[in-house]
Chain A
Amino acid sequence: MSSNAQKTGFGATIWDYITTVDHKKIAILYLISGGFFFLVGGVEAMLIRIQLMKAGNDFLSAGTYNEVLTMHGTTMIFLAAMPILFAFMNSIAPLQIGARDVAFPFLNSLGFWLFFFGGVFLNLSWFLGGAPDAGWTNYASLALASEGHGIDFYSLGLTISGFGSLIAGINFLVTIINMRAPGMTYMRMPLFTWTTFVASALILLAFPPLTVGIFFMIFDRLFGANFFDVTMGGNTIIWEHFFWIFGHPEVYILILPAFGIFSEIFAIFSRKRLFGYTALVFATILIGFYGFMVWAHHMFTTGLGPTANAVFALATMIIAVPTGIKIFNWLLTIWGGSISFTVPMIYAVAFIPSFTAGGVTGVMQAIAPLDYQLHDSYFIVAHFHYVIVGGVVLAILAGTHLYWPKMFGTMLSEKLGKWTFWFFFIGFHLTFFIQHFLGLMGMPRRVYTFGADQGWDLFNAISTVGAFFMAVGVIILLVNVVMTTIKNERVGNDPWGDGRTLEWAIPSPPPFYNFAQTPLVRGLDPYWIEKMEGNKEGMIYAEPLGDIHMPNNSFIPFVMSLGMFVASFGALYHLDGDKAWALPVLIIGLGITFGSMLVRSWKDDLGFIVTKEELIADQERIQREAQAREGGKNGGLK
């Protein structure tokens, strides 16, 4: 286990994480950086709400408000929600299919570092002359007119992190196609793995149009092209199409893994097999498929004409059907189950009505004539927060509690978890429910203030109070994390006691090779099957104990991403004209990236072998630790 020899010390740990290709550690990197950006986006949300707390407020200037609003949306979608979901996908999906790692461990690390540097680049705009201010949708007519470099930070930052997402998507797809353990057929895959799979397919097909659109934006703003410049024959609607051809699938990229997490939770804590597993799988696929055919419902008021509007209105309404199927399947999974209301389960139960409310307003907006009234009003803000916060964020919070022991080996406090839940849940409805009515009363979205005579004061004040409730909930979660980490009470394989899928059959956190022997899967919920048959070990195996092949750590992904980061500064300042260093920086940056790519393909990198003897020794160590833990517990009880 040469390259895994445990060095200790802070520097060594940092180096280990920078060079790691282990999907479980990359998951932790995603969780930490996604969590950090979630806090940044959350602070931005609070600034928005404080500004809108009363009529005529001057807490933020109009220009700053636009920047904060834009960065809030962009950060939450690209740098918080997606990466945190990637954390769970990375950590859990390979375990659920009985794999020792992902298909491309090196690319996995590259994907993370691209996301990371892209996010950092985007946020550096705050310190380098101002953030983007054309909304997270960055419509070209606004973006081309925006002064300074904010929009360029947006374009270049999202390009880099977008490549990261694309790489991650391909990696998950190949992992799930090629690396399933014997017996793990497609129709035995846990729902979280299924949703990871479909979401990855959406990433694969949705990110290229965004990248193309952003490239046009970069060319127009920095290199004198005319894609969106109407006076030069360009057309700004092209941006809107590309953005939403990406944008609508993107919301499914977010919500499908959330559905997956909740599906796992419903089954585990109802102690029942998922009701209608097959229907859930096909609903997932259908949603993924329809997700690409509805983008123009964001453009009803653009003037595409009645035929296009009618077609897209109908297609949008159809999507509600598979989503409804899912809701009923979850309800029927709970029905008659032996339910335990743990923190993840409470989130899951709360998710159903919250998300359904967002779905209902979605169908309302799909009615094109009605959308002429609703568009660009606070009704829209209420809608997408009901689906995104009521769906995705609740799933992220639930998943954090559910998978924390698997990722870190300790349990978050249930008591504090419940406090977080109640603050967040009440705050969420307090903030956003009332925004429906603000919208119907005519309050437009993306305005930095409103007048005292407009009658929107009270509802806005209430909405702001709700936001503070959510903030308290998040702070309690942070306290929970710190306390849990300090206490560091280690847990066993199946800390919830009712795990059904393979990840619960191995230690928490799993050893770096995951499975000493590849498991043999005999049906849906394989671990549950073995439990029911009284298999003490929790698994049966598809292979005898033997040598294992593992990939080497690598510093190259970090360097490649760093190169892109450097090059972006060159591209950004290139057109200022007075900065001679810009072009060399662009070239050096790209040189670093392509140079390290070449190094990577030049050297043989065959990984290393964990021998059978080392495996046996390691398994014995794990057993000793488990016994010590059990012994300690019993000792405590006596």
Chain B
Amino acid sequence: MDLNKRYTPQTWPDHPETATLEGKNKFVGFWLLLAAETVTFASLFATYLALKDKGPSGMEFTAAGLFELPLVFAMTMILLTSSLTSVYAIYHMKNHNFKAMQAWLGITVLLGLTFLGLEIYEFNHYVHLGFGFTNSAFSSAFYVLVGTHGAHVVFGLSWFIALMLRNAKRGLNMYNAPKFYLAALYWHFIDVVWVFIFTVVYLMGVIG
């Protein structure tokens, strides 16, 4: 692969992410990784459902009593929006418009950071109520499920930031186009998982 080859929007391929063998390999490999991630989260959800509201005798915490929807609803909206902005970024990547891509990625990162901040606030709030990690089986299952998602958000954000900084001077080429594409794909996956968390943990938790 020649890094110095200059592309214009006209010579840039329609699907730069799979235009090279390396890109194709990354693409297939990443989807497989997402399959493994899906199984991981399925396992965490199953555990959470099994341990929901379970604790030492006399434990006061229940999902219905603990969770409140307004904050998590806001978080959901923010994360969904960030998925949309990452779509715009990849749209510009495919049109070989580096600046616009970076800008939309920047917005995505800001939204992601906001989400993360709210999540930290939320956890902090529960801990102050006495619902810490070691409080009960319920609390352990909750923090590990939602926390694993949070760790994915951190990783996704770091990935975006690293890509943006690394390529700031280099611009788009066939070497990094698949990476941008896959980082965005990862972000969508994180988003989908959150939708399930919102539904299973919070909505179903509050409703009972």
A450-480 contacts to B (CB < 8 Å): none
Least distance between A579 CB and chain B CB atoms (Å): 20
A233 contacts B137, CB within 8 Å? Answer: yes
B137 contacts A227, CB within 8 Å? Answer: yes
* Prevailing SS type, chain B contact patch: helix
CA distance A155 to B26 in the complex (A): 30
B55 contacts A233, CB within 8 Å? Answer: yes
Give the nearest-CB partner of B139 in chain A.
A226
B134 contacts A208, CB within 8 Å? Answer: no
Selected from A166, A174, A211, the residue in CB contact (under 8 A) with B28 is A174
Selected from B56, B136, B141, B166, the residue in CB contact (under 8 A) with A602 is B166
A60 CB-CB contact with B under 8 Å: no
B39 contacts A234, CB within 8 Å? Answer: no
CA distance A216 to B39 in the complex (A): 15
A204 contacts B137, CB within 8 Å? Answer: no
Selected from B29, B39, B59, B138, the residue in CB contact (under 8 A) with A170 is B29
Residues of A within 8 A of B40 (CB): 208-209, 211-212
A207 CB-CB contact with B under 8 Å: yes
B140 contacts A225, CB within 8 Å? Answer: yes
Residues of A within 8 A of B32 (CB): 170, 173-174, 204
A225 contacts B43, CB within 8 Å? Answer: no
A219 contacts B144, CB within 8 Å? Answer: yes
Residues of A within 8 A of B59 (CB): 233
Selected from B28, B44, B56, B166, the residue in CB contact (under 8 A) with A233 is B56
B3 CB-CB contact with A under 8 Å: yes
Selected from B25, B28, B35, the residue in CB contact (under 8 A) with A205 is B35
B162 contacts A232, CB within 8 Å? Answer: no
A556 CB-CB contact with B under 8 Å: no
A205 contacts B36, CB within 8 Å? Answer: yes
A238 contacts B138, CB within 8 Å? Answer: no
Residues of B within 8 A of A103 (CB): 25, 28-29
CA distance A37 to B138 in the complex (A): 40
A6 CB-CB contact with B under 8 Å: no
B91 CB-CB contact with A under 8 Å: no
Count CB-based A-B contacts (< 8 Å): 107
Give the nearest-CB partner of B155 in chain A.
A594
B51 contacts A225, CB within 8 Å? Answer: no
Residues of A within 8 A of B123 (CB): none
Least distance between B140 CB and chain A CB atoms (Å): 4
B129 CB-CB contact with A under 8 Å: no
Quick one: given A242-B43, A604-B3, are A225 and B54 in contact (CB under 8 Å)? no
B162 contacts A598, CB within 8 Å? Answer: yes
CA distance A211 to B43 in the complex (A): 10
Quick one: given A166-B36, A226-B140, are A104 and B133 in contact (CB under 8 Å)? no
B36 contacts A208, CB within 8 Å? Answer: yes
CA distance A213 to B46 in the complex (A): 12
A198-219 CB contact bits vs B (8 Å, 1 = yes)? 0000001101110111011001
Least distance between B125 CB and chain A CB atoms (Å): 20
CA distance A170 to B140 in the complex (A): 30
B25 contacts A226, CB within 8 Å? Answer: no
Residues of B within 8 A of A43 (CB): none
A234 contacts B36, CB within 8 Å? Answer: no
A178 contacts B24, CB within 8 Å? Answer: yes
CA distance A170 to B39 in the complex (A): 14
CA distance A174 to B144 in the complex (A): 31
A344-389 contacts to B (CB < 8 Å): none
Question: Can you show 22 pairs from A to B with CB atoms below 8 A apart?
Answer: A103-B28, A173-B32, A174-B28, A178-B28, A205-B35, A207-B36, A208-B37, A208-B39, A212-B40, A212-B44, A212-B47, A216-B47, A219-B144, A224-B134, A226-B55, A226-B140, A229-B137, A233-B56, A233-B136, A234-B137, A238-B51, A602-B166
Closest 8 CB pairs of A and B: A233-B54, A233-B137, A225-B140, A224-B134, A233-B55, A234-B137, A212-B43, A103-B25
B interface residues, Cβ below 8 angstroms from A: 1, 3, 21, 24-25, 28-29, 32-33, 35-37, 39-40, 43-44, 47, 50-51, 54-56, 59, 133-134, 136-141, 144, 162, 166, 175, 179
Query: What 18 additional pairs, Cβ within 8 angstroms, besides A174-B32, A227-B140, A602-B166?
Result: A104-B29, A173-B29, A174-B25, A178-B21, A204-B35, A208-B43, A212-B40, A213-B43, A224-B134, A225-B140, A226-B137, A226-B139, A227-B141, A232-B56, A232-B136, A235-B137, A238-B51, A602-B162
